[in-house]
Structures are given as structure tokens and as C-alpha cells.
Amino acid sequence: MVGFMPPFSSDSIPWAIASGPTALPPGDLHLWLADRDVWTNHPWDSVLSAEELARTSRYRYAVDRDRARTGRGLLRRLLGRYLGMSPADVAIERGEFGKPQLTGDSNDTAIAFNASGSAHLALFAFARGAAVGVDIEAFAATPGAPGKALPSPRDIRSMTTRFAADEAALIRGLPEADAAAAFLRLWTCKEACLKCRGTGLQTPLDEIRIELLDDTRAIGLLGTERFAIRTFAPFTGATVAVAMVGNVMPEPRCWTLARQ
């Protein structure tokens, strides 16, 4: 693992505002960012499956339930645009370890996708013929702003005990502000790789090692498996990672989803 670098480059990728996709050409990687709180009054009950409604109803707090339903509804909305069908008709199943995927007998299984949510934000990734994983962590840039509170130094020390020894040592040796940025970059990289793989946090975090190549690129290593990673910030307070199997990935095309 290389030494600490800036956690991301905020201007490395432009995020245009768009109402939704029209096509997903082979070789493309599409990322969509959405504010779930802007969409919570949409009638998602008519879009989600009975299983999705039941699962999201288990949240204790209404805000978490509404954000979970909105995230799932927006995923269906985007998939429906790519597939040319109604969002409610998109058939989604879960893989062996619970990763959502299109049902093989009713949809175009060449489209792989992944989603992540943090506070009010949701991030979605789409590619053809290649697995993809994403993670987003959203933090309040100023007091009272949307987002979670940044992890405390104590929390970071505790959570890095789950990292590889050299990763944890690197973070412990940094000033507090840099330690938080480095921790978040490594955490999102690890989550994106494990979500790409389909196992998620069922794989211990110290088994996936991250090599930082520069301020926006990294490699994930898990045994003989390799993952290409991009890290960046669509805006202040949001840390994003996207991972695909192999040594390289397409240049992401990125949009912010506009409310219609």
C-alpha cells in the first residue's frame, strides 16, 4: 500500500444534471447520484414489490424507511429506463449472498448494477457484462447540513482494527483530519470491492487490501482477485468509490438525477 494521498479529487468527474438514462452502450460505466429526500413523496408503493415493501417497513424510524423505499424505487426507475419497461415490471432477485441482480428469465441480464445509500444520498452504478460495486458515505459539511456526523478519532481507531495491519498503522500515524479522510477512502474502497464481488461485509475487511495509486485511483486485492477502483467526491462531504473486477475500468460517466 502506498503512503497517504489526498482522499479524492472533487473536480475529476463532472456530474451533469439529467432526468434519466436513454441507453447503456457496451463498455460504458454509468453512475447516478440522487437526493432521496427530494423524492420521498413519490408514490413508490405502486412501484415496489411486496417483498421490498415488507423489507423496508422494518426500519424503526420513518425517515430511514422512506429513504430506503425511495432508493429502491429510484433503482427501479433507472433500470426501467435502461430496459425500456415500467419500473414496477423490472424483475429483481438476490444472489447467493444477497446482492440484487436482474432475474435471468425475464430481463436483459447483461446489465449489472449496484446501489449504495448514506443519509439523504443514493448512488447507483450500471454496466454491461461486468460486475460493479459502489459505496458512498455522506457527511454534514457544516453543522445542521444534511448528512451524518464525521466519525470521531475514537471511532476511527476502533473501526481500523478490522483493517489490515499496515492500513491501520498508516491511519494511526496521521493527524486527525487526514486520518479521517484516509479511513473513509479505504473504507469506501473496501466496501465497493466486496459489493462488486457479491459477498459484502460477509468477507472480513482485513482480507481485502487496498493499494492507493494516486488521488483518484486504487487497486483492491483479495487473494488472486484484483479490482480496479475509482474514488472521488461529487461535492464536499461525500466520499464515493466504484470498483470493477480487473486492472482497469471504463471512465465513469456521471449524472445527478433531477426530480421530475
Percent of the chain residues past pLDDT 90, beyond the cut: 60
pLDDT at position 5 is: 41
Contacts 24+ apart (CB under 8 A), 204-211: 204/162, 205/162, 205/163, 206/162, 206/163, 206/164, 206/165, 209/1, 209/164, 209/167, 210/1, 210/167, 210/186, 211/1, 211/2
Q: Quick one: 15-257 is in which CATH superfamily?
A: 4'-phosphopantetheinyl transferase domain (3.90.470.20)
pLDDT tens for each residue of 116-160: 999 999 999 999 988 999 999 988 766 666 777 788 888 998 999
pTM: 0.91
Q: Where are the domains of the chain?
A: 15-257
- What mean pLDDT do residues 65-90 have? 96
- Residue 38 above 90 pLDDT? yes
pLDDT at position 10 is: 41
Residue type (1 letter), 135: D
- What mean pLDDT do residues 36-43 have? 92
- Residue 81 above 60 pLDDT? yes
- What mean pLDDT do residues 85-112 have? 82
pLDDT at position 201 is: 81
What residues does 245 pair with on adjacent strands? 227
Burial class (CB in 10 A: 0-12, 13-18, 19+), 61: exposed
- Residue 12 above 70 pLDDT? no
pLDDT level of residue 4 (50, 70, 90 thresholds): very low
